[in-house]
Amino acid sequence: MATQWYYKIKGKVNGPISSSEIIKKIKARQILPMTQLRKGDSQWVVAQSVTGLFEKAGVWTGEHKCPYCGNTITTPPTNCENCQRKIETSAYENADTHFKKIVSSKLEK
């Protein structure tokens, strides 16, 4: 039987859905790095701790930096804790592009 996934949004459990549906939801930003995920009957974990999941979706989960002061921030949209400026999702999109470049350059080697 194929892997079945459950995910929690605002305390509500959704699923079961397949691995490919999980990838689709990550791409659509319906599942974010901090979204709670569960594989079958196992424990709830944050989505970004599932190895390879975000890589498969081509979504960056690494560190984000404030474009204004360089402070490490959480996934945009957010406010920088250091300079208090609003960081838009466009910063995240740029990070995606950057990540894809890294992935494709690794594949080329």
Token pair 């569960």 in the structure block, residue = 38
Q: Closest distance between Zn ion and the C-beta of residue 74, in Å?
A: 12
Our CB check for Zn ion shows the closer of 14 and 89 to be 89
Bridge partners (DSSP) of residue 6 are 38
Q: Closest distance between Zn ion and the C-beta of residue 76, in Å?
A: 12
Our CB check for Zn ion shows the closer of 37 and 95 to be 95
The token pair at 5 is 């996934």
Catalog residues that contact Zn ion under the rule CB under 5 A.
Answer: 66, 68-69, 71, 80, 82-83
In angstroms, what CA-CA distances link 81 with 37, 42, 64, 89? 27, 35, 13, 16
Q: Closest distance between Zn ion and the C-beta of residue 67, in Å?
A: 8
